Structures are given as C-alpha cells and as structure tokens.
Structure 1
Amino acid sequence: MAVKRNSKLHAYLAEQYAEFSSDSPQPRLSSLFSDFSKLAMLNKYGYDANIGYWRSVILDCNRQGYLRSTDHAIAIEACSLSETFQRPGMGRPLALGHVVSSMEADGDLVALSNFDKVHAGSASWLSWIMGSVIPQRRPGSSDPATHGLYIVMPTLKEIAKRIVQDHYQRPLKSALDHLVTFEDIRARYQKCDSLELTDNDLILVLRYLHYSMGLAMADDVKGYEKSYLVVKFPESNTGSTQAEITQHDKAIISIKTACQALNVQVDDLQRKIETLERTAKDFYVKKQKSRALYCLKRKKQYEEILERRLTSLETMETMLMKIEASHNDLQIVEAFNIGADALRGVIGSSELTLESVDEAMVKMQDALDAQKEVENAIATGTEETNAMQLSGVDDAELEKELAALEHLEVEESKEKDLHNHKVPKEQEPKEQEKVRQEPLENSQKKEKVPAAKTPASKAPVQNEASTSPTDSELARLGQVLASLDKPRSPTKEKQMSYEYA
C-alpha cells in the first residue's frame, strides 16, 4: 500500500512540478534533496527559497490526498516523510527535518500533543478523544521534529470553513437543527473533494471549531439503543456566541435517534412484507399451498408489527414537532420581550415626553408659517416689478405689431411657393427646345393622317428619285437644328421663341 501511495505521489509531483519531471529532472532537484541546512548561515536567500518550495509541495500534496498518515488525512508522519519523497537515483531528501521545524514555527504544522493543549475542549469528552485519537509515537531519530504526527493546519482550517459554510447555508426549520450527532457529521462531510476524511480527522476539525467559534460537543449521550457523540452549532457563525448542550438538548437527541431507528425498522418491515407476498404468489403458482399459507401468516405478523411501529413513530414525531414548535414559540416570545423593552426604553427617554412633542409641533407650525410668508412676499414683489416694467406699454399697439408680423410671415410664405414653382435656369434651354419641336411634331401628325386613309398602291416604292413628306419634314428639322447651332444675339433668340410660341 505504501509503495502504491508513493507511486501516485511521484506521478502527481512529475505532473505538477517541473523540478520533479521523470523525463528531464531539473538541476534544482539536487539542491532540494541535499542537506541545505548549511545554507542558513552562508546563503540565507537560497535556504529560505528551498524551505518555501518544500513547504508548498507538502501542503499541496496533503490537500490533494497524496500525503497523509495511516489514520489521518489531514496529518503527516514526520518520521516517514523523507522516505515518502525518496526517488530512485537520488535517495531521500536530507533536510526535511528542518522544513518540518520551520513549518511548525510558522504554524503550518502542529504536533498532535500541542494541538490537544491548545484546542482542548471540556473534560467530559477530552478523555474519550485522548484514548481513541492520539496514537503512540514511533521511535525515530534524535531530531525532535521527526517524532509523532503533525496536523496540517491550512488543510484543517479549509475543511472547518467549508463545514461551517455548508451548515449555515442549509435551510433551517428551527433552532433545533443546530443539534446533530456525529453520525450526521460523518454522512455529510466525510468526503471533501479529493480527501477521504476519517473519524479522527472529523474529531480534530470539530475540536478546532469548538476552540475557534464556540461549537459544543458532548459524548455518551443516551439515544436509541446506544450512546451518541452530540455536536451543537452556535446560533450564528460570528463566533460571538458559545453553544451549550443542555439536558433539554439531550432529550431531543434521544427522540431524534428513536425516530431515525423507527424509520429504519419501518422500511425493513415493509421490504419483508413485500418479499413474503411475492414468495406466497410463487408458492401458489407452484401448487405449494401450505408454504404459501405460511408466508401469508408471516406477512400478517409483520404487518401487525409494522402497524405498531408506525403508531410509535407517529407519536415520537408528533412529540418532536411540538417540541420544535414550542422552542420556536419561546424564541418568538423572547423577541417580543426584547422589542417591548426597547420600545419602553425609547418611550421612557427624557427626550420623548408630551411636552417635548407639543413643543416640536409648535416649532414645526411656526416654521411652516414663516416659509408661507416668505413665498407670499416673493410672489407679491414679482407682480409689482412686472407691473412697473410694463406700465408704458399699450396692449392695442402690441396687438397691431403682432398682426403685422403674422401678415409678413404669410407674404414670405407666398413668395417662397412662387419661387418653388419657377423653372430653374439650367432647364430653360430644354424647355425652349421642347417648345420649338412641338409645331414640327403637330405638322408631322397632320400629314400622316391622310396617308393612312389612302389605299396602298401596288406599284413598287421608289428609293431615291421620289421624296416623301416625311423626308421633307426631316430636312426642315435639320435646317432648324443647324440654325440653332449658329451663334446669335439674345434679342434674336428671344424673337424666335416668341415666333414658336
């Protein structure tokens, strides 16, 4: 198992860290595996760099689950740490003892014995933890940093933070939901990403939460058929309140565990009844009547037991529901009392009396009256000023001036419309040409009309000897166009346009 775990560790290191590449290991790896403790005096920078590198590697490998002890996922064995990182051809790292000592001084690693002293809880459950969690130290080298187990505090704190966030983000039906058993904690948080937490790990995390945020723990709480380790979270996760497990809480745990056990029994009885019913049908099909009757008789017995268990479960759940309702009512009454005390304190203040209220209302009314007088004065002054400025102006004269402005606007609009209807100068030659062509086109139409009425002659048409009216008109049109090309004075052009018109 150790060889397999080490192989996974080396594969992870080769994938995540270039220095540990199996194909081409970096030259720095030789420095990391050497006894660089001598650099503490000669090269402080190189010594701190190697310590920091090994620190990041150890914390990362522990968080990913590749570096752990036999009974803990969040602890490492210092005595076997160098053996775990042993590489073929390079041997073991020679300065990991100094790395562990440095990490312990910085608080990244805490020896399990020191953790017990710092994060010790109440004596009622500390003895149970001491006997079940702390292992015996293994004999090792003379270096004190290589003895025993060291808890990896960054990993422990991250898991504790996740447990707290998950618990307080759950929808809580009542304050009694803060009270759980260790079995509930195991079912919820045993699997944490890539880490498979053991019961010892969860105990250490709960003890840290007891020290840091006031979580309460109590062992040997009598439940259904056995004793339980009970955990109670504070009302809030601010760390300002300390949870406490009372006899009332222990009674609730007893009822809760009884309900859980009865639910398990009910499910088991239901499965047995269904199995016996199927078996009786099979025996009946096989013509084994006696065995079928025996199965039905057993089925009846289980149904009677099931009915009694369901009655007991209903009674227990009703009792638990009433306890939770009473607890909620108690909290509501406490909130009412706190609110009443606060209101009474405000009303009983010397600043809140009938005389002070009347005095404040009088002051408010005086302020409103003063503000209204100011507004009236401003309005009156404005009206007088306007009247003085317009005293010499006649309204009839203003009306005439306004009418003149309207008449002027109408005239300008008419002139604009006439201007829009005029033909632009650049289009005048085209219009004149059109006017000159209209008489020619009309005469051409008149000559074509009798030609259409005359019957067609059977004689062949002469090509060039005879001249048709169309040809004469075309010749005339050519003369007109030639005359247009000749330069002429504006007066003559104007006379020609009048002739065509």
Structure 2
Amino acid sequence: MSELLAFILEHEQFRKARLPSLYSDFRNLKTTNLNGYHANVTAWKTILSAALAAGKGPDSNKLVLTTSDDLVSSLQTRECGRPLALGVVIAEALHNKELWNLDTFLARQESIYAWSYTGAVLNWGLTKAGIRGQPVDTRGMVHGRFVIVKNVEEAAKQITSTFAGHSSLTDRIFTADLFASEHAPTLSATDLKVLLRHLSRDNRVCAYSGATVKFLAPGEPAIITETDTTIAHLKSLLHSLSTRIVQLSTDIAACTARAQAAVANKNRPVALAALKSRKTAEGVLTTQLRARGQVEEVMASIQTAADNIELVTILDRSSKVLKGLNKEIGGVEGVDMVLDKLREETDTVEEVNRAITEGGVVIDEEVVEDELEAMMNEVKDAERAEKVRKELEEIPAVREPKQDEVIDRQLSDSLESMKLGNEEEKEENLSVHAS
C-alpha cells in the first residue's frame, strides 16, 4: 500500500462504507443525485490537497499534483479497485480554477483571481446561451502537472505573516536559494517557483526576478534594483560563510578528539596528522571569521544608509505636511487676524454681561443680613427653651403641691422674661436699621 493510499484511507470522508461510491464511476450521479455527485468530487479534491500538503503525494511536490496512470494505480484497493471517476474530479477542479496547468500558471501575466468574477460571468452567459455547456466528463485520467490553488494560498499566507513585521531592507531581500533554505525548506524547486510567482503576481507582496526576492514595504514599487541584487548576494555570502564556520568548528573538534584518542593509544603518526589537520582548519576558520566580519560591517553600513534614506524621506514628507497646514492657517498674519477677531468677540461678550448685570434688581445687602440675624436668634431661643424643658423633666416627680405651683410660676416667669428679651432685641434691630 502506497503512503498516499494509506493517508487517504485514514481520512474520515473515505471510511469503508463510502469507498464503493467514491471509487465507482459516479458520473451518472450528476443527473440522478447532484448532491451526491458534488459530495464525491469535493471529497476527492479535499483529500488530494491534504495529502500533498502533508508530503504524501506521488512525488516530492506539495503544491503541484502530477496526474498520470501511475497515480490511479497507486490509489487502487483490493476491495474497490481503481478510482474510476478520478479523471472527472480533475476535470471539475480545472473547470472551477481550483487547479491550474503548471506551465500556464507560471507563464500567466495577469492574476489568477482576475478570472474569478469576469470569467464566471462569461461562462454563465455562454452556458445560458447554449454556446458552452458543462465541463466534459472523461473516463480516463487527465495527464499533466497541475497547481493546487488551495495549497499555494496556505503556503503564501504563512510566508506573508512571517514578513508582516519586517521593515528593515536587508531583512526583506534574499536570493532565491537563500529564501528557500530559510523560509521554505520543505518545498521542491517546482513548488518554490509556483509560490514566488503567486506571491509576486497574485498577492503583490514581493518582487521576484528569478534570482532575487524582495518583500515589499507599504507603498514600495515592485521592482528589483541593482542595490537589491547586491544585498541579496551579500546575504547569501554571509550565510555561506556562517555555514562554513560552523563546519570548520565541527572539524576542529573532531581533529582534537582524534588526536587525543591517538595519543591514548600511543599512535604518534595519527596524532600528528590529526593535529596538522586541526591547525589547517583553524587557519581557514580565522580567515572565514575575518571575512564574515567584513561582510557584516558592509551589511550594517548598507542598512544604516537605507535607514537614513527612509528618515530623510519621512522628514521631507513631514515638511510638506507642515507647509500645507501653515498655508491653511495663513501664516503669522492669519494667526494675528484670528486673535484680533477673538479679542473683539471677547470684549463684546463682556459688554453684554455688564449690560445684563446693570439692568437687574438691586438687592440691599444689609437688609438681608438683618433678616438672617433674626432667624438665627429665633433658632437660639428655641434651643434654650428646649434645654429648660429637659431640665424640668429631670426634677423628681414626687413633690408637694405647693412646690409644683412654685416651679410652674418660675417657669412662667422665665418664659415671659425670654419673650420680653426677644422683643427688646427686635426693637433695637429696627431702631438701628431705621437710623
């Protein structure tokens, strides 16, 4: 059993109960059971896409499906035989632009999504007019290499998210080989061409010249300059030097271990050879380290220059913005004019407030204060009366009748004197006010 078949049989849609229908020639379902027909076609398209993405396809490609009689044979099972309608599935996918012929996809200048609306409307119109019908069913397999659009879109989404936060120029430029090794190590050479073509033409997130790949900053034109190519080559050289340095370090460690083992075994010739090899590797390592340092300095200088260009560009744009804003304000003369108008309107508001205040009712502050004083005195008298009442309640209840009369008389006298005092205070207040 092939890896592809094993992968398919583990999928939920290809459970044993459905296999007879999926492996049958289900073309007749298009007229007798349209839902069943589309369900079978969708199941096959989904599983083939998933199998290639998982690396279980008929070859090393993950984005490109190679269809042939060998593919059909690799899907053969003992119970159901070969999938008889696989050619129909491929034809349907090609008709719906879910698959693209590889050569057509790479050579096409216009985006594949340009077909989505206009092509669909045109096909619908031709079909309604009777000029064009549904895709032709075929019993045999359609041979060729076809780009699976769904897989390409998923791979492009991952790459785009990786570069979403990269603003540094040197971080966004690669040679094609360096890009493949760092960001698409599991893709074949064919897959890489398809992915870069999709990113540059359909998604417009990068520029691709065949040897240089540059992911674009917002508003940056999709062109590869000589500077970009130079940066790409420098990055590739830096990567090669780093790889070589790691290998030399490993070789030096191995020579040291070999020399130590030879010394332990008292094998002088082998120990000498190992030490000589180590010395040679150390010399080369020193040279490589020096070269890498020089390349890193050049890269840092290029990045600094790029940052300076970006800074100057931003400052230039900012100066234009300020110039436009100052023009809208009208310069110093315009500001002075606005301030003069503001002062005039402020003076007008103050004059209006003054006129409103002078035309209002005049209130005698002394009369108000006298009235407040009288009200406060009444409150004090009430408080004193309440205090006397509480003191009387505290006197023992058992008294001679004569004593009660004396107390009542004293209370009456106290209240009378309080009233007289209040009247005298009122008369004094009125006399003061009258004077």
TM-score w.r.t. structure 2 length?
0.70
Task: For 2:372 and 2:308, locate their aligned partners in 1 and report how far apart those are by CA, in whole Å.
Answer: 81
- 1:146 corresponds to: 142
Match of residue 64, structure 2, among 70, 75, 81: 75
Task: For 2:15 and 2:140, locate their aligned partners in 1 and report how far apart those are by CA, in whole Å.
Answer: 32
- 1:251 corresponds to: 230
Task: For 1:100 and 1:326, locate their aligned partners in 2 and report how far apart those are by CA, in whole Å.
Answer: 52
- 1:63 corresponds to: 50
- 1:176 corresponds to: 170
**Coordinate RMSD, CA, aligned:** 3.8
Secondary structure of the corresponding residue to residue 174 of structure 2: strand
Which amino acid in structure 2 is aligned with residue 164 of structure 1?
A: T
Equivalent residues of 2:99, 2:146 under 8 A apart: yes
- 2:338 corresponds to: 360
Task: For 2:260 and 2:215, locate their aligned partners in 1 and report how far apart those are by CA, in whole Å.
Answer: 52
Instruction: Kindly indicate whether residue 206 of structure 2 is the aligned counterpart of residue 218 of structure 1.
Output: no
Deviation for aligned residue 1:406? 3.5
Instruction: Kindly indicate whether residue 214 of structure 2 is the aligned counterpart of residue 232 of structure 1.
Output: yes
Task: For 1:145 and 1:365, locate their aligned partners in 2 and report how far apart those are by CA, in whole Å.
Answer: 88
Deviation for aligned residue 1:284? 4.8
Judging changes above 3 Å, is the alpha-carbon distance between structure 1 residues 149 and 407 closer, same or farther for their aligned structure 2 residues? Answer: farther
Match of residue 97, structure 1, among 70, 87, 92: 87
Task: For 1:274 and 1:148, locate their aligned partners in 2 and report how far apart those are by CA, in whole Å.
Answer: 50
Secondary structure of the corresponding residue to residue 321 of structure 1: helix
Deviation for aligned residue 1:218? 2.8
Deviation for aligned residue 1:211? 0.7
Equivalent residues of 1:59, 1:152 under 8 A apart: no
Equivalent residues of 2:44, 2:89 under 8 A apart: no
Equivalent residues of 1:8, 1:66 under 8 A apart: no
Task: For 1:159 and 1:146, locate their aligned partners in 2 and report how far apart those are by CA, in whole Å.
Answer: 26
Deviations 1:215-238 (A, max 9, x none): 22234xxxxxxxxx32111113xx
Task: For 2:385 and 2:58, locate their aligned partners in 1 and report how far apart those are by CA, in whole Å.
Answer: 105
Larger mean CA deviation between 326-335 and 181-190 belongs to 181-190
Deviation for aligned residue 1:51? 1.5
Task: For 2:109 and 2:72, locate their aligned partners in 1 and report how far apart those are by CA, in whole Å.
Answer: 29
- 1:426 corresponds to: none
Match of residue 264, structure 1, among 219, 234, 243: 243
Equivalent residues of 2:88, 2:139 under 8 A apart: no
Judging changes above 3 Å, is the alpha-carbon distance between structure 1 residues 188 and 311 closer, same or farther for their aligned structure 2 residues? Answer: closer
Equivalent residues of 1:36, 1:47 under 8 A apart: no
Deviations 1:304-332 (A, max 9, x none): 33333322222222122112211211221
Deviations 1:390-444 (A, max 9, x none): 76973442122221343466578x59x97xxxxxxxxxxxxxxxxxxxxxxxxxx
Instruction: Kindly indicate whether residue 159 of structure 2 is the aligned counterpart of residue 163 of structure 1.
Output: yes
Deviation for aligned residue 1:255? 2.2
Task: For 1:91 and 1:58, locate their aligned partners in 2 and report how far apart those are by CA, in whole Å.
Answer: 19
Q: 5 Å matches for 1:278-427?
A: 278-284=257-263, 292=271, 295-347=274-326, 349=327, 351-373=329-351, 384=361, 394-407=371-384, 414=390
Which amino acid in structure 2 is aligned with residue 166 of structure 1?
A: T
Judging changes above 3 Å, is the alpha-carbon distance between structure 1 residues 358 and 296 closer, same or farther for their aligned structure 2 residues? Answer: same
Task: For 1:178 and 1:303, locate their aligned partners in 2 and report how far apart those are by CA, in whole Å.
Answer: 34
- 1:114 corresponds to: 104
Instruction: Point out where structure 2 has 5 or more consecutive residues left out of the alignment.
Output: 112-136, 395-435
Aligned residues: 365
Judging changes above 3 Å, is the alpha-carbon distance between structure 1 residues 200 and 297 closer, same or farther for their aligned structure 2 residues? Answer: closer
Equivalent residues of 2:62, 2:151 under 8 A apart: no
Structure with more contact order per residue of length (Cα contacts < 8 Å, sep ≥ 6)? 2
Task: For 1:379 and 1:411, locate their aligned partners in 2 and report how far apart those are by CA, in whole Å.
Answer: 49
Instruction: Point out where structure 1 has 5 or more consecutive residues left out of the alignment.
Output: 122-140, 220-228, 419-501
Equivalent residues of 1:33, 1:93 under 8 A apart: yes
Higher Rg? 1
Which amino acid in structure 1 is aligned with residue 42 of structure 2?
A: R
Equivalent residues of 1:86, 1:92 under 8 A apart: yes
Which amino acid in structure 2 is aligned with residue 212 of structure 1?
A: D
Larger mean CA deviation between 181-190 and 322-331 belongs to 181-190
**Identical counterparts, % of pairs:** 22
Deviation for aligned residue 1:361? 0.8
Match of residue 199, structure 1, among 189, 197, 202: 189
Judging changes above 3 Å, is the alpha-carbon distance between structure 1 residues 406 and 232 closer, same or farther for their aligned structure 2 residues? Answer: same
Judging changes above 3 Å, is the alpha-carbon distance between structure 1 residues 183 and 52 closer, same or farther for their aligned structure 2 residues? Answer: same
